[in-house]
Amino acid sequence: MSSTSAPVSPRERLQGVLPEVEIVALTPLIEEIDELKRTRNAVVLAHNYMTPDIYHGVADLKGDSLALARMAGETEAEVIVMAGVHFMAETAKIVNPDKTVLIPHTEAGCSLADGITGADVRLLKERYPGVPVVTYVNTSADVKAESDICCTSGNAVEVVSSLGADRVIFLPDQYLGKWVATQTDVEIILYEGSCMVHERFTGEELRGYRALTPGVQIIAHPECPPDVLEEADFVGSTAGMIRWVHDERPSHVVMVTECSMADNVAIESPDTEFVRPCNLCPHMKRITLEGIRDSLRDMKHVVEVDPEVAARAQSAVSRMLEVPA
Boundary residue ending a domain (161, 194, 227): 194
Task: Give tens-digit pLDDT for 214-234.
Answer: 999 999 999 999 999 999 999
Q: Report yes or no on 308 lying in a domain.
A: no
Alpha-carbon gap, residue 219 to 234, rounded angstroms: 5
Average pLDDT over residues 26-38: 97
Q: Are residues 102 and 25 in the same domain?
A: yes
pLDDT at 67: 86
Q: Are residues 66 and 148 in the same domain?
A: no
Boundary residue ending a domain (140, 162, 194): 194
Q: Report yes or no on 307 lying in a domain.
A: no
Total domains in the chain come to: 3
Percentage above 70 pLDDT, the chain: 98
Does the pLDDT of residue 68 top 90, yes or no?
Answer: no
Sheet holding 79-83, edge to edge: 61-63, 42-47, 79-83, 100-102
pLDDT at 5: 45
Q: Report yes or no on 205 lying in a domain.
A: yes
Q: Are residues 14 and 98 in the same domain?
A: yes
Q: Report yes or no on 135 lying in a domain.
A: yes
Q: Report yes or no on 39 lying in a domain.
A: yes
Does the pLDDT of residue 41 top 70, yes or no?
Answer: yes
User: Residues 89, 113: contact at Cβ < 8 Å?
Assistant: no
Q: Helix, strand, or coil here: 206?
A: helix
Q: Report yes or no on 2 lying in a domain.
A: no
Average pLDDT over residues 242-256: 94
Confidence of residue 72 (pLDDT cuts 50, 70, 90): confident
Confidence of residue 246 (pLDDT cuts 50, 70, 90): very high
Does the pLDDT of residue 7 top 80, yes or no?
Answer: no
Q: Are residues 141 and 69 in the same domain?
A: no
Q: Are residues 71 and 137 in the same domain?
A: no
Q: Are residues 173 and 250 in the same domain?
A: no
pLDDT at 1: 44
Q: Report yes or no on 1 lying in a domain.
A: no
Domain of residue 37, CATH code = 3.40.50.10800
Confidence of residue 6 (pLDDT cuts 50, 70, 90): very low
Q: Are residues 163 and 151 in the same domain?
A: yes
Task: Give tens-digit pLDDT for 101-123.
Answer: 999 999 999 999 999 999 999 99
Alpha-carbon gap, residue 156 to 153, rounded angstroms: 5
User: Residues 5, 46: contact at Cβ < 8 Å?
Assistant: no
CB atoms within 10 A of CB 125: 17
Confidence of residue 2 (pLDDT cuts 50, 70, 90): very low
Q: Are residues 156 and 243 in the same domain?
A: no
Boundary residue ending a domain (147, 167, 194): 194
Does the pLDDT of residue 3 top 50, yes or no?
Answer: no
Q: What global pTM score does this model have?
A: 0.89
Q: Are residues 181 and 129 in the same domain?
A: yes
Average pLDDT over residues 39-66: 94
For the chain, what is the radius of gyration of the CA atoms? 20
Domain of residue 27, residue span:
10-109+284-298
My answer on whether omega of the bond before 52 falls inside 30° of 0, hence cis, is no
Q: Are residues 26 and 100 in the same domain?
A: yes
Burial class (CB in 10 A: 0-12, 13-18, 19+), 297: middle
Does the pLDDT of residue 134 top 80, yes or no?
Answer: yes
Alpha-carbon gap, residue 204 to 274, rounded angstroms: 19
Confidence of residue 325 (pLDDT cuts 50, 70, 90): low
Q: Are residues 15 and 68 in the same domain?
A: yes
Does the pLDDT of residue 45 top 80, yes or no?
Answer: yes
Question: What mean pLDDT value characterizes the chain?
Answer: 93
Alpha-carbon gap, residue 225 to 73, rounded angstroms: 32
Q: Report yes or no on 318 lying in a domain.
A: no
Percentage above 90 pLDDT, the chain: 84
Average pLDDT over residues 42-47: 96
Task: Give tens-digit pLDDT for 135-183.
Answer: 999 999 999 999 999 999 989 999 999 999 999 999 999 999 999 999 9
Q: Are residues 169 and 214 in the same domain?
A: no
